[in-house]
Structure 1
Amino acid sequence: MDIYLKELLDREQIRNLRTLYAHLLDGNNIAALDQVFSADAVVEVTVGKMEGIEAIQSGLNDAFKLYDRDHRENYPFMHAITNHWVQLTGPDTAQGRCYLIDFETASKPDPNPLLLLGIYADEYTRIDGEWRITHTRLEVVWPAGS
């Protein structure tokens, strides 16, 4: 396969991880996050640092319950992922960043649905032929102090 075509396909597969993450988390399919994260992944987000897929699933499940104030069991928030930049750093490694626009859809006293603006800084590894996020850190840009 042409090297440029392979790199293009790798970048697209990597970008798809964040899109899949948003759909799985927002749709309350947290058990399927092993399609996004490696078994030993590290996730650093507003609800804390989680190490390993089981801790990630547990921590994000707790966050989901916290925001599901209307008990709809899906989409209490919506993670819009944009401006995804990916740099291949080796044949099976990459790094990237993307913007997060995080909306709350559950009822709350403040009618503004915007929860936060942030940047995901990710590291990726190809494991058994499939790309996975191995480390991610959410940098909250707004609101300040989050």
Structure 2
Amino acid sequence: MKIDDLLEIEEIRQLRLAYSNYFDGHDTERLKTLFCEDAVCEFPEEFGGNWVGRDTIVANFSKELTRLGEPYDTMHVVANPWITLTGPDTAHGRCYLIDLLTRQQAGTGDYETRGGHDNPLLFLGMYEDDYRKVDGEWKFANIKLPFFWPERTFEQVRRPDV
């Protein structure tokens, strides 16, 4: 691996971190900039299944954010990034998602965790992403999010190094 490859991988890692920050902060304008025009988000059926196209993705995120409550009522913690460059303008990666609910007061959102204040854990999942470089910037081309907890929607993942 060369230094240039590491720099590309770091840019992609920063993209994933920006997604978490913009989503948790309810900043849909910035969130929109992270996606390719023809991006696809593959979510479990309870979240609407596949969302196709950047505008649809952002519209659906906007709806979901109103269900979540206020900015930073939920917080994405992403860990264990594994990113592989698959071409000069393409890459694949995955990371674990630990989704926390920071607020559990009646009337501030539709979500509640199983443990209430004693357990802020909302979801455990794994983002599996395909990235594409567009005009010199890495963007999400595809996001797949199977869950492990509380309901298991996980079936299988691709190895990023294949």
TM over 0.5, yes or no? Answer: yes
1:106, distance to aligned residue in structure 2 (A): 2.3
Query: Secondary structure in 2 aligned to 1:28?
Result: coil
Instruction: Give the AA of the match of 1:87.
Output: T
Question: TM-score w.r.t. structure 1 length?
Answer: 0.90
Instruction: Give the AA of the match of 2:83.
Output: V
- Distance in 2 (CA, whole Å) between partners of 1:139 and 1:90 is 25
Q: Which residue, 97, 121, 130 being the options, matches 1:123?
A: 130
Which residue is 2:79 aligned to? Answer: 82
Instruction: Give the AA of the match of 1:13.
Output: E
Q: Is 1:142 aligned to 2:149, yes or no?
A: yes
Query: Secondary structure in 1 aligned to 2:104?
Result: coil
1:34, distance to aligned residue in structure 2 (A): 2.7
Which residue is 1:43 aligned to? Answer: 41
- Distance in 2 (CA, whole Å) between partners of 1:17 and 1:45 is 19
- Distance in 2 (CA, whole Å) between partners of 1:119 and 1:42 is 16
Query: Secondary structure in 2 aligned to 1:74?
Result: coil
- Distance in 2 (CA, whole Å) between partners of 1:136 and 1:98 is 11
Q: Which residue, 14, 17, 30 being the options, matches 1:16?
A: 14
Instruction: Give the AA of the match of 2:9.
Output: R
- Distance in 1 (CA, whole Å) between partners of 2:79 and 2:34 is 17
Structure 2 unaligned runs (5+)? 106-111, 154-162
Which residue is 2:158 aligned to? Answer: none
Instruction: Give the AA of the match of 1:138.
Output: L
Q: Does structure 2 retain, via aligned residues, the 8 Å contact 1:67–1:106?
A: no
- Distance in 2 (CA, whole Å) between partners of 1:144 and 1:75 is 23
Query: Secondary structure in 2 aligned to 1:39?
Result: strand
The range that moved more, 41-50 or 118-127, is: 41-50
Which residue is 2:101 aligned to? Answer: 104
Count of paired positions: 140
1:107, distance to aligned residue in structure 2 (A): 1.4
Q: Deviations over 1:87-144 (max 9, x none)?
A: 1111111100000000112215622210010000000011111000100100101113
- Greater percentage in strand: 1
| Percent identity over paired residues | 40
Instruction: Give the AA of the match of 1:119.
Output: M
Query: Secondary structure in 1 aligned to 2:130?
Result: strand
Instruction: Give the AA of the match of 2:149.
Output: W
1:30, distance to aligned residue in structure 2 (A): 1.1
